Chain A
Amino acid sequence: MGITVSTPIHRLALVILALLLVAGSSPPSTAATSALDAALPLLEGRDLATKKQAVQLIATSGNDRAVIILDALVTGNLYFLKSDNSLVIAEKNGDSYLAKNALLGTEIGPVEKRGLKKIGINNALRSQIRDAIASLSLDHADRSIRLRAATQMLDNPSADTARLLRSALPQETDDDVRKVMQTAVSVADLASADTAARLAAIQQLAGNLHPTVRNQLLKLSENDKDDKTRTAARLALKEIDFKVDLYGKAEVLFFGISAGSVLVLAAIGLAITFGVMGVINMAHGELIMLGAYTTYLIQQLMPQHIGLSVLVAIPAAFVVSGLVGILIERSVIRFLYGRPLETLLATFGISLILQQLVRTLVSPQNVAVSNPGWMSGTLEINGVLSLAYNRLYIILFCLIVFMLLSLVLKRTPLGLQVRAVSQNRDMARAMGVRSARVDALTFGLGSGIAGVAGVALSQLTNVGPNLGQSYIIDSFMVVVFGGVGNLWGTLVGGLTLGIANKVLEPWAGAVLAKILVLVFIILFIQKRPRGLFPQKGRGAVN
């Protein structure tokens, strides 16, 4: 059964297939060239049987130009140049034709129409050529080309593709390609005249998430003559829609968790300085900004190794922000313990100074931080759900930072001292804890974590002097919402707010979603003034 109507989509698909083949083919051997040479003269003349033989020869020649020549033939762009009787691919350009040598691909230049002789084909020949092109790609040695060819056929199903795919299926060794091929066969079967075949195909396709499958089933559920088929299609469609919806929700959840991870990263340093020490550090955002600028500077130092630079930047940012933090603690904050509102003002002043410092020393404009290659790309789960690697890494990174920080606080001598000082300073001092040193180190730890968060943020947003300001309010919200003095609260709070934001976004818009979350927190604090997980015991008394 041949195709009698040539649609633009089919043609486009074939051209893409042809290009794919050229891109992935090996250099031509001399044998392949000679087979092609032998075939080309057969195209001359009017005898269609000879032409058919020629097409067969070209298709089996193994030459990488074969697909291009066949494609030109099927689109009617293949001509003989009358002057030297060579084969050319020509396209109309104004009054004349632009010609290329078909075998070599070399430009010949404009040729008059009179100098060309078109190679005519009929419909039977046309479908033979299409088959040839498609099977050339389905048999290709490169897995990715086979996969793309099969996907192409899936998107443009026809009885012919089904036949080709059926014949290619037994030889296919790769599971992914097989799956696509089977789907494509089933999709093509949806157009079958045989009702049983259509029903079987619908069964096969139920729950399949490829967009073409859904479109085809939708058509079937509305237009099929057979009642049973329509119902089956509708059921299959329902199953697909259910899955799409489910995966859509999973995607929102994923976005929410990744947005929440960013919040947690930004806030977790604050959970230490604010939560454990009771210091309201308004310069926290600027410590994040310093971390981001450290990433930028490291990238400037090692422009050849962007992939590595981010990893180097993590400890570097920790050290830079940590040292600045210790400096702030020693020079200002230590005089203000027990006066939280005054610390707020003083550290806000410091934040202004740090901002202006970056403006003066680096630049008032945003700086360009590059993303390493391993951060880009997506992890495809199925047709509707794909997870961006950078978001995945952020989530992972956030969890690692969280666990490390918990370990430091729970399992190290420093952590023990930090908790001792935060619970009862005088008693800790009496036990020989050097509280001033612990204060400085704790503040340095919280600040260092802010710097590490800055490295992560540099991969997600613009790095500029105002970077910190845009995160400071969110960070405070997370800590207050989660419950002060509680790392778990920060984690749960951050993730909750991130997810809430992303869930609200589709129907409220990004800004309104943010406003709603803020209003929610304001109301929540009225209800539970100490946050989600309030601190218990003696440490809770302010």
Chain B
Amino acid sequence: MNLKFQNKKITGILTVLPENEVNFDDEIDNYDFSRAQSMKLKLIMGYGKRRVVKEGTTISDLCIYGLNYLFDNGLLKKEDIDAIILVTQSPDHFVPATSHIIQGKLDLKKDIICLDINQACSGYPVGLNQAFMQLEQEEVNKVVVLNADMMSCKVSAKDRGSRPLTGDAASITIVENDTSGSTIYGTVNADGKGAEALIIPAGGFKMPSTPKTAELVTDKNGNSRALDHLVMKGDDVFNFVQREVPPMVERLLDKAGKTKDDVDYFMFHQPNKFMLKKLADKMGISYDKMPNNIVENFGNSSGVSIPTNITHNLGEKLLKEDFLICLAGFGAGLSWSSLLLNLGSLDFCETIDY
């Protein structure tokens, strides 16, 4: 579905990374890899350093830390926040919504919209879409979009396909009304028939966690997982991304009357280096316009990899300059989404450690 928003803008982006860093080289013995395989995986997939939370840390901790950083540095005022939209699949609890927990702990005003959105790797554009819609309300002037996930806790230590790629992170994006007559174009898509391509089978109401769902089972590729763990059909996900993302971006650009050359940067979700390079090849986009270095530096933090990509790779540039940016997210659901917007002259665009 095509979306269009008038007079909305992003005014600041902050990424919060847990300072705890795990290096693939230190973990190699966990996996049944030969030395040659390990070297190849580092080079091709981008296995490297990743940031993961320490036990006991939750996504609300990361979000609250980041918001307090903004309050303390005069970059955001508590009383100005009219809505909090939190995109996550690792909430503190099933009940209540984590956005409410954050609102309460920070003593934010009660005259506020709090909304959790259950989306994974395509969640960042989806959360921004919701923020743009909230801003249509007369009394909503500033929306905080939080995107946070800590899936490292849900990936088996003996899953060599997913574990070395997975990281945790949170991001805070401020969205406001704009008077410049700008237009933001977007798309959202869903295919629930592919629900099992990326799934945590147990732990919800359909299959509650029990000692049985925690038992490790080894698959034919030698990876051991429990039903409580995230399981990904890598080949299905690869084919899905190659099939759906290039035409989605074509349609988006077409609607906006722009070409690929008009776009300064394609800031995409970061599943792994290999998939991003293949995507760039298929779309005929040079690698320097589509960064693919987030997994090797921080890990794939689901939807948060898009704001991490922006603050890490464009950071200070976005304080002074303006760019036409295409965002795209794709993953569990299946879900895929995109946005085309002018981004720049931000109040802040940085990465901090928790």
A and B co-occur in one complex: no
Interface positions of B (Cβ within 8 A of A): none
Mark A residues whose CB is within 8 Å of B. none
